[in-house]
Structure 1
């Protein structure tokens, strides 16, 4: 299989996931500002998931042009990444409906962490196959930033389980901002 076919498949699946996210948004019980305000957790969960998936897509888009070779492991890792990513609409809806519930937050955060780790494994696989691309743990993102990203998510998970359920989404938001605004390595 050529990389173009795999990239096109990934693009299509991620686009479908992002579309399903918006279809899961709840409608207000009364169509007024207070009815919309009552759904703020839904909108926040949707926006966080949409932009997190968009960030992942942009990272792949910005780095896969350097890939010359893929193998069966690349395909397998991509399928696993997409499988766990396909759970975003479900876990997002759980967080949206049960924002202050530790179980919903931990499930959502666990999927985010698994997808993050799958991205790291995929990047390491591509680095092995394409040494000239100079990929690190997560493409061109410095290793310290990847480690901080994962640490923030794990701390959010721990706090979410113990004392403050919404810590999970807040840690994901902070980790996402870190990945967006930190300059990439040269």
Structure 2
């Protein structure tokens, strides 16, 4: 018999996907060919790509958990928005690996920023479903506004980062990293505090 989807089950399933993504990400790491620190340092694009992606997954996971606290039932819309969000996250290992092997070439970095854009766009869908107008949850209105504003602003920055990376890849990557800072604390000033 098929069990009814609940917010708790949806959150647990999502946790599993995030764990798999981190595992897939680390599988692409390779040791240097020579046993020297110089050889290790020559792999800096790989390590930088991995570090930024790991941080990104961690931040998205924390924010996802924070947002899912407002789910009272697993509606069809919530299920599909969540699957879209997880799909966009599933592109991160590919984007990370391509960016790393290309040694931060423009097009791979632009694709990487575009994945950030897609993840953020699907996160906005989750925000609208869970704390948007008419959602009927207990999220304070100022907190809802802050969450939506932050998501829309960073969406614009991720889009700009993708375009800028085509000419200046390190600048585009830097914009992505700076945007992550805005999500380090998922709870808006007026939001529901984390336990």
TM-score w.r.t. structure 2 length? 0.85
> Which of 15, 19, 29 matches 2:19?
15
Matches within 5 A, 1:102-117: 102-117=106-121
Deviation at 1:181, TM superposition (A): 5.9
Q: 4+ residue runs of structure 1 moved beyond 4 angstroms?
A: 138-141
Q: Does 1:87 align with 2:91?
A: yes
Matches within 5 A, 1:1-186: 1-128=5-132, 130-134=135-139, 141-161=146-166, 163-180=167-184, 184-186=188-190
Give RMSD over aligned pairs.
2.2
* Greater CA drift, 111-120 or 92-101: 92-101
- Unaligned stretches of 5+ in structure 1? none
Deviation at 1:33, TM superposition (A): 0.8
Deviation at 1:183, TM superposition (A): 7.1
* Greater CA drift, 140-149 or 171-180: 140-149
8 A contact 2:77–2:129 mirrored in 1: yes
- Higher helix proportion, which one? 1
Could you say if the C-alpha distance between residues 50 and 100 of structure 1 is closer, same or farther in structure 2, counting changes exceeding 3 Å? closer
Tell me, in whole angstroms, the C-alpha distance in 2 between the residues paired with 1:182 and 1:12.
20
Number of residue pairs the alignment of both structures matches: 184
Tell me what 2:193 maps to. none
Q: Deviations over 1:115-135 (max 9, x none)?
A: 110001111011256432327
- Unaligned stretches of 5+ in structure 2? 191-195
Tell me, in whole angstroms, the C-alpha distance in 1 between the residues paired with 2:130 and 2:69.
12
